Structure 1
């Protein structure tokens, strides 16, 4: 029976495998009524948002953010504690004395972080940042521990001008997703056993009904199975990018 520690070792091995892939650095541009937003998919779960001259990282990890140098962070947003999302050394490298750090409650010892619990929101650099639930219901380690217990991690809805961007973090298709309305762009994980299987991903897309969806955190997943479902999404634009 594998322990939680052994599962983390497996996750570590997966991440080391990711390092052998060429970083894609896919940059996407979205128009809002307050200016253009550029989002770079740095790889895995690392994103860089650039808006009004500010650099905002989500889950920076040294495996992917190295090519973003010398772009220092005006803000860093953390979803949860797993090392492929929370890389303390990379956060330190990207930070200046003025960098704003946003994190879940479990990081209350990080100073001077802004702590957001599920359901709380804060204006950060002119962006409304709302923390939403991100957790497992089904997927557990062999000893019965959920990979992501409820309340420990956050997804985030970022309202930038007249557009809403949902970054799911590590989660399954949890009931609270039904509360997400008028999402323009969603980043949704597809990776077993830590996040969603293809049916959960499919359920999430249909529940939140965003205009644009990016699968991310999908290392090891069968993207052909996802592609076979695309025609059922009707007006939803699913954009599969090479992020590994």
Structure 2
């Protein structure tokens, strides 16, 4: 599997047969130039995970791509006039031979006064890669590579470390970092506090990396 991190929460996963884009949001750049996508997956409705201005053109340029969204995003994409499917935890999809399992259900708590919204995570090929969106949901499957949220209003470093330890992947690639001025400090702490057997690998933004 190969991966491109377009900054923040947006990643492109490329297998032998499929090209899957997750969370093309406003804090990410470069994804709009991608072609021959099989699927565009959205974890939840927040703008840093879904750029409504760029999404229609992205789908028009990728006519074979299926758009999959969580229940809370359905109204937003319906207003854009694009075709989509709503996913729920427990759902399974297949795109050009690549399997996707849907997990989670709820966004992490930002503050008790802010209503909690839906959030789903996506697991590629039965554990090859896990994108949790904005949540600390720990799946039952063994995860090889985890997209590890790094900085957010709903997250503090100790919680991210606890999540990393609970999932205990072979490899963790930090994502959701755009709100931090200097995320390298968090990356260093992830490396220092990672569970035994887990490597933390920071991906160069916009470049393919092999996992």
Q: Same fold (TM over 0.5)?
A: yes
Aligned to 1:48: 12
Aligned partner (choices 91, 98, 102) of residue 68 of structure 2: 102
Aligned to 1:58: 22
CA contact (8 A) 2:4 2:205 kept: no
Using the TM superposition, give the Cα deviation of residue 65 of structure 1 relative to its aligned residue in structure 2, in angstroms. Answer: 4.0
Q: Is the alpha carbon distance of 1:53 and 1:124 closer, same or farther for their aligned partners in structure 2, counting shifts above 3 Å?
A: closer
The reply to whether residue 114 of structure 1 matches residue 85 of structure 2 is: yes
CA contact (8 A) 2:32 2:54 kept: no
CA contact (8 A) 2:190 2:200 kept: no
Q: Which has the larger radius of gyration?
A: 1
TM-score, normalising length from structure 1?
0.70
Aligned partner (choices 160, 180, 198) of residue 236 of structure 1: 198
1:236 & 1:159 partners in 2: Cα distance? 19
Aligned partner (choices 149, 153, 156) of residue 193 of structure 1: 153
CA contact (8 A) 1:79 1:103 kept: yes
Q: Deviations over 1:76-109 (max 9, x none)?
A: 0011111111112322122133321111122445
Using the TM superposition, give the Cα deviation of residue 129 of structure 1 relative to its aligned residue in structure 2, in angstroms. Answer: 1.3
Aligned to 1:182: 142
2:32 & 2:142 partners in 1: Cα distance? 31
Q: Figure out how many residues of one structure are paired with residues of the other and give that number.
A: 195
Q: Is the alpha carbon distance of 1:202 and 1:187 closer, same or farther for their aligned partners in structure 2, counting shifts above 3 Å?
A: same
Alpha-carbon RMSD across the aligned residues, in angstroms, is 2.6
Aligned ranges 1:149-160 → 2 under 5 Å:
149=116, 152-159=118-125
CA contact (8 A) 1:44 1:216 kept: yes
Using the TM superposition, give the Cα deviation of residue 241 of structure 1 relative to its aligned residue in structure 2, in angstroms. Answer: 3.4
Higher relative contact order (CA 8 A, sep 6+): 2
Q: Is the alpha carbon distance of 1:214 and 1:183 closer, same or farther for their aligned partners in structure 2, counting shifts above 3 Å?
A: same
Stretches of structure 2 lacking an aligned partner (at least 5 in a row): 207-211
CA contact (8 A) 2:15 2:98 kept: no
Aligned to 2:100: 129
CA contact (8 A) 1:105 1:117 kept: yes
Using the TM superposition, give the Cα deviation of residue 124 of structure 1 relative to its aligned residue in structure 2, in angstroms. Answer: 2.7
Stretches of structure 1 lacking an aligned partner (at least 5 in a row): 1-36
CA contact (8 A) 2:146 2:169 kept: yes
The reply to whether residue 211 of structure 1 matches residue 170 of structure 2 is: yes
1:124 & 1:67 partners in 2: Cα distance? 19
Using the TM superposition, give the Cα deviation of residue 67 of structure 1 relative to its aligned residue in structure 2, in angstroms. Answer: 6.2
Name whichever structure is richer in helix by fraction.
1
Q: Is the alpha carbon distance of 1:115 and 1:228 closer, same or farther for their aligned partners in structure 2, counting shifts above 3 Å?
A: closer
